[in-house]
Amino acid sequence: MNLLSEISKLEKEGLLRELKPVRQKGAYVEYRGERYLNLSSNDYLGISGTDDFQREFFETLNTNTFMMGALSSRLLTGNDPCAENLEQYLAELYGNACLLYNSGYHANAGILPAVTQKGDLIVADKLVHASIIDGIRLCNCEMKRYKHNDYDDLERILQQSADKYKSVYIVTESVFSMDGDTADLERMVELKEQYNAKLYIDEAHAFGVVGECGLGCAFNKQLVNRIELIVCTLGKACASEGAFVVCNPEMKQWLINKSRTLIFTTATPPINILWTGFIIKKITEMKTEREHLRAITKKLRNRLSGRRILGDTHIIPLVTGENDECLRLAAQMQSNGIWVMPIRYPSVPAGQARIRLSLTAAISNNQIDKIYDSILA
């Protein structure tokens, strides 16, 4: 492949991606000396702006132990007691076993290949995240896709296929990262029970945000014990790094034995695991922040109601269609002090480019007006 000519092709199509040197804190992001309101962050509860939490956390540390690296895989010598303590704490919260992964990507790339075999079927929502798709690609079984959040289509596939496969896994996100809408988990659980299938859900954009204690959609709907695999990520609302899966104890034991993204990688550094445990305790109490996030979401969604917006959550996709218009609107909003990124193919289907307005609890009510004005400018 001629990389230079491929790169210039990407540039002509408006698809070239670049790394930008940015620093984020709370509601803001700093880029080349300018401060912008950050609408591209997954720090949904605004934790990066809370200096007090970080200070309090550092005071809890015993600096006589080495915390900066895990030094090996958990199955060798990298299984610091803090990892099992955190799993135990999460297991008590969810009422089922929990297993940590280094990231959501590791979890999604490693769980499905470990639990499926030849002769199984994976039925995935058309819009599941790239990390889930990569996991499915590593599986030795068939895959079918159902139309996004279309449970009649899912049922049609289950009706046709359920008997023909050893096991059927249904896979979805709970809150969709690029469409900002929510899966109907109650309906999905009914379907999976009716067709004797298993359910895998990714709560990356729901953990911290959805439910009284922020424990996600499955917990909120009291469905934890009826869903085989619930993946929550820790790099978003939790402002840390890593992920965990909620499953039954046998499944946990199986994953420890068979999940290659857990076995063949250095474990998460103890400093991160300790921070995760510290911050989840705070998150379960951050009801005011979740309330505020809901209120500003409602306000911005109402103001944008004449426009092509999708979903029903704090992630508000403003669809522009073509890449050029998306790039133009992103530049316009940036020149008005709002940090947004144009989201283009392959992150979303071609022709459905969009600005993803990702709200966080650090954004004030008045700043919602500023965001709206920057779209009209």
Ligand X SMILES: Cc1ncc(COP(=O)(O)O)c(C=O)c1O
Binding interface with ligand X (CB under 6 A): 103-105, 108, 129, 131, 173, 177, 202, 204, 233, 235, 243
In the complex, what is the shortest distance from the CB of residue 34 to ligand X, in angstroms, rounded to a whole number? 26
In one-letter notation, the amino acid at residue 286 is M
Q: Which is nearer to ligand X, 50 or 174 (CB)?
A: 174
**Measured between alpha carbons, how far is residue 344 from residues 36, 41, 213, 229, 321 in Å?**
22, 17, 34, 30, 9
In the complex, what is the shortest distance from the CB of residue 67 to ligand X, in angstroms, rounded to a whole number? 20
CA–CA distance, 171 with 131 (Å, rounded to integer): 12
Which residue blocks in 61-103 are alpha helix, DSSP H?
A: 81-94
Pairing of strands 243-247, 97-101: antiparallel
DSSP letter assigned to residue 182? B
In the complex, what is the shortest distance from the CB of residue 335 to ligand X, in angstroms, rounded to a whole number? 27
Cα dihedral 137/140/142/143 (nearest 10) = -30
Contact 237, 202 (CB under 8 A): no
- Residue whose CB is nearest to ligand X in the complex, by number: 104
In the complex, what is the shortest distance from the CB of residue 112 to ligand X, in angstroms, rounded to a whole number? 13
Q: Which residues are catalytic?
A: 42, 129, 173, 177, 202, 205, 236
In the complex, what is the shortest distance from the CB of residue 240 to ligand X, in angstroms, rounded to a whole number? 9
Q: Which is nearer to ligand X, 162 or 228 (CB)?
A: 228
Cα dihedral 282/296/320/239 (nearest 10) = -10
CB atoms within 10 A of CB 185: 23
